[in-house]
Chain A
Amino acid sequence: MTYKYSLEFEKDYQEIEKKLAELKEIAQNKQIDFSQEISALEEKLKEYKEEKYNTLSAWQKVQIARHPARPTTMDYIAAIFDDFFELHGDRCYKDDPAIVGGIALFNGVPVTVIGHQKGRDTNQKIKRNFGMPHPEGYRKAVRLAQQAEKFKRPVICFIDTQGAYPGVEAEERGQGWAIAQILMKMSVLRTPIISLVIGEGGSGGALALGVADRVLMLSYAVYSVISPEGCASILCKDVSKSREMCEHLKMTAQDLYAMGIIDEVIAEPLEGAHINPDDTYKIVKEKLQSHLDELLNLKMDDIIDQRYKKLRNIGIFREEVLIE
């Protein structure tokens, strides 16, 4: 096994995995029967991993969510959908490669797919602007969503971005305006919408694809109002406090499910989607299908009402009681 890029806590057991593989090879070459010992070791290693992954900190989950080998939107599109036709451009300014969108078949049903695209190698990353969209990306997303509404296609969104791009041109062309528009339009779009956070969901740039009837999250994905680094630099004036802030921000799928902000946590294979992408695609496809089936059985007016009510009820505050 080769590991191009390992996380700190992955290294702990990957060393053992390597040795185990070597041992197997030697045993095979020399034709010595170590199979009992090897399976005992494998069992032990599995237990160790399970314990490790069941007690991951929020910071460690952020590392998995940002893992360079983690499947991107395009990977999910290729694995889950058939006949994907990519559609480009916002019809105003240009095409933003940081957001991909188009029409595809999902188990035979035409759907519109929209998602952030981070890119994998350096060239791709630069082309995709590291998955950080400009206003034209959000305007393209609105265009495709409204097209889906017209043709009564459900919309499936994939969220995976650090956030909207913080640059001069993005501001000039109205980054805030573009995000506000998509939030408003998706809230009343007359077609079912499912959003899935597959990696990192950062701030308003992620939420822009997150106004949906069902918001799902992979178990090692994160979704936050601000990156832990941003929070540490603003509140503590010290980026080294990122780990600490990360735990306080309650940004993991499990925390958000407990707060009622997302509808379901989709369990990834033990070591994360990047180690075992095929199993991840399979379970994601199953879950998307079951949520879509539920939504397609509802009346459109009810879907819109429920979408509003769900958003309307998010918020925790106190109501002061006055004693007259």
Chain B
Amino acid sequence: MSFKDIFYPKSRKKYITLPPPSEASNPQITGVETCPQCGSHNSENLLQNSLKVCPGCGYHYPLTAQERIWMIADNNSFSELDDRLMPADPLSFPGYADKLAKVREETGLKEAIITGKAEINGEKVVMGVMDRRFLMGSMGSVVGEKIARVFETACAEKAAVVLFTASGGARMQEGMLSLMQMAKTSAAVARFHQKGLLYISVLTDPTTGGVTASFATLADIIIAEPGALVCFTGPRVIEQTIHHKIPEGFQRAEFLLEHGMIDQIVHRKDLKQYLSKMIALHRWSDKQ
């Protein structure tokens, strides 16, 4: 059984079994990885055992959506939602259809987000995980629709929402339809908040543009992974505008914490515990 079959089984089961990430097909990582932060050489096995965090300097390697789900959701608890939604090419934008076909082939993903119901240490959640390998995690019609449905499902089930963001922003190739997804997802969050339910967003590297300027920063609790770049305008564009280099660490998670933009930075090894405890704390309000 290939990895693709696990996520999109021909016979639809209610629950799917996720393999440990060592089986996850990631063609880029073979044998030894050089850490982009400290330059130390880490073996693939070492990284898998340390949740893909460099043991030397604590650099958090990017995760695929599947790896993230494996890491956060309890075993066999994840059941995918809306896995049939596929991107269209509404503007017949040159090169878009080919790009979609290529990235689908390479990653086995259908879109830049996987959503589903799951349990985190027994706490019921509706979760969504963006994957930056799919056109830089950009938000088009499908991503916007899936996120709106996450909030609607969670409203109906009175469950908490946990979203892991990673995105280059709105997807240019779908034009204004993409931009409007910012308004659509923000409106869905507003309705969700009115129900008194908990929304936690986990900002991972990189979260930028239209995603930062919509649902990602509208959570009750906003946490980030160490070193994650989170911004509206990316550093490259700012440098072009102001014509000089911007300082090291600008727009990184630590910078955002200092500037009061996020609640906490949580190390990957503590993330699951943090989420489940936080959700448990809010369950009290359900009983009132």
Contact = CB atoms under 8 A, between A and B. Distances in A.
B218 A316 contact: no
B182 A168 contact: no
B259 A225 contact: no
Given A315-B180, A319-B86, A167 B238 contact: yes
A231 B12 CA distance: 40
A249 interface: yes
Interface stretch (A102-110, A115-123, A204-212): A204-212
A312 B250 CA distance: 35
Contacts of B191: 188, 308
Most buried by B among A167, A180, A320: A180
Contacts of A235: 95, 172
Interface stretch (A18-26, A72-80, A142-150, A170-178): A170-178
Contacts of A316: 88, 90, 141, 174, 177
A259 interface: yes
Contacts of A176: 209, 212-213, 216-217, 230-232
Given A204-B232, A322-B12, A317 B182 contact: no
Interface in B243-263: 246, 250-251, 259, 261
A22 B35 CA distance: 74
B180 A177 contact: no
Interface string B162-190: 00000000111011111111111011111
Interface residues of B, number: 63
A187 B186 contact: yes
B194 A167 contact: no
Nearest to A319: B84
A259 B180 CA distance: 12
Interface string A284-324: 00000000000000000000000110011011111111101
> How big is chain A's contact interface, by range?
35 or more
A193 B187 CA distance: 15
A65 B138 CA distance: 28
A164 interface: yes
A225 B176 contact: yes
A190 B191 CA distance: 13
Contacts of A259: 90, 176-177
A225 B241 contact: no
A175 B232 contact: yes
A250 interface: yes
B145 interface: yes
A161 interface: no
Given A171-B232, A184-B218, A226 B213 contact: no
Interface in A174-201: 174-177, 179-181, 183-185, 187-188
B156 interface: no
A183 B84 contact: no
B233 A171 contact: yes
B242 A179 contact: no
Contacts of B184: 311-312, 314-315
B183 A187 contact: yes
7 contacts: A170-B232, A185-B190, A224-B179, A251-B176, A314-B183, A318-B88, A320-B85
Interface of A: 164, 166-168, 170-177, 179-181, 183-185, 187-188, 203-204, 207, 210-211, 223-226, 231, 234-235, 248-251, 256, 259, 261, 307-308, 311-312, 314-322, 324
Q: 6 shortest A-B CB distances, which residue pairs?
A: A176-B212, A315-B141, A187-B187, A176-B232, A166-B233, A183-B186
